[in-house]
Amino acid sequence: MRLWAPAKLNLYLRVVGKRPDGFHELETLFERIDLADELTFKPHPTNLQLTCSDPALSCGEDNLILKAARALQELTGTEQGAHIHLTKRIPIAAGLGGGSSDCAAALSGLNKLWDLDIDQQTLVQVAGSLGSDVPFFLWDVPFAIGRGRGEQGEPLETALTLAQVLVTPDAQLSTKEIFQAARFDLTATAPSLKLTAHALRNGSLRELALGLRNDLEPEAIRRCPIIAAVQSKLREFGCLGVCLSGSGPSVFGLCKDLVHAQEVMTKVRLIAKPTWHLSVVTTEQMGASQS
């Protein structure tokens, strides 16, 4: 069995407050994009094993794919195993939710492979216990509003398919460290999620560009100043709006359409370092599809 695990962008991320458990209360707007990892699953009677195309990634018990598998074994008591191979295409620790998406794909893949018949609500609960962004990838919608830690949400209906230029400079930022070090202005008002969500629902790209927001941006730029330089280049090259995704360092530029995004990317290639990850991405309408 083969599953796609798509990346996400945060079109909006506002920190609403700090919680007693150390996490932050968020309002966020997720978009699923067509940059994806690939997971293949082979059944095994007892042995659970993970391999990966990228040697930089740990394939040990700390990997969210194995954490997902262990959580399902614990929940159901099954002792079945699997050989899982991950083909990594989403940059690691880049604010694109790659690890979370792999985790969600492992949950739904193993649920099928092991014939566990776990209902969607329970699967989403397990997902939320493994990471704040994991449930989004199980909701099976291209756009969603996330609240709480980001793990509670509602789909956002729109006819839009967005086209973006995605630039990931070669710095890995720790989400935990960024959240802990960031200073948030909890009274800041504009732009509001309501306006951004409204622009997306109504298909107004210009309004959406004005509504892009990420409260983690100042701290991410402080640690990785190249983010600000990339943003200013994307504006100069004609993007309608630019924003950091998650805790960075990935930056996206919103474009009018795919052709516009490809034109902008031609210019980005001339100034990018060879070690940066560059791609033109569009909203992924299909879910974690099986192939």
**To the nearest whole angstrom, how small is the minimum distance from the Cβ of residue 132 to ligand C5P?**
3
Marked catalytic residue, from 37, 102, 133, 215: 133
Strands 213-214 and 2-18, bridge-based pairing: parallel
Count how many Cα atoms sit within 13 Å of the Cα of residue 100 in the half-sphere of its side chain.
28
Q: Is 112 known to be catalytic? A: no
Token readout for 202 is: 């109504």
Nearest to 93 by CA among 259, 246, 269, 274: 246
Alpha-carbon span 129 to 133, nearest angstrom? 10
**To the nearest whole angstrom, how small is the minimum distance from the Cβ of residue 178 to ligand C5P?**
8
Residues that bind ligand C5P (CB under 6 A): 23-24, 26, 131-133, 149-150, 175-176, 179
Assess contact for 57 and 63: CB atoms under 8 A.
yes
**Residue in this structure with the two tokens 């997720």, named with its chain if needed:** 30
Is the CB of 99 or the CB of 241 nearer to ligand C5P? 99
Write the DSSP assignment of 49-82 as a string of letters.
EEEES-TTS--STTSHHHHHHHHHHHHH----EE
Is the CB of 138 or the CB of 240 nearer to ligand C5P? 138
Nearest to 68 by CA among 110, 32, 97, 121: 110
**To the nearest whole angstrom, how small is the minimum distance from the Cβ of residue 179 to ligand C5P?**
4
Marked catalytic residue, from 8, 67, 88, 233: 8
Q: Is 8 known to be catalytic? A: yes
Which residues are part of the catalytic machinery?
Answer: 8, 133
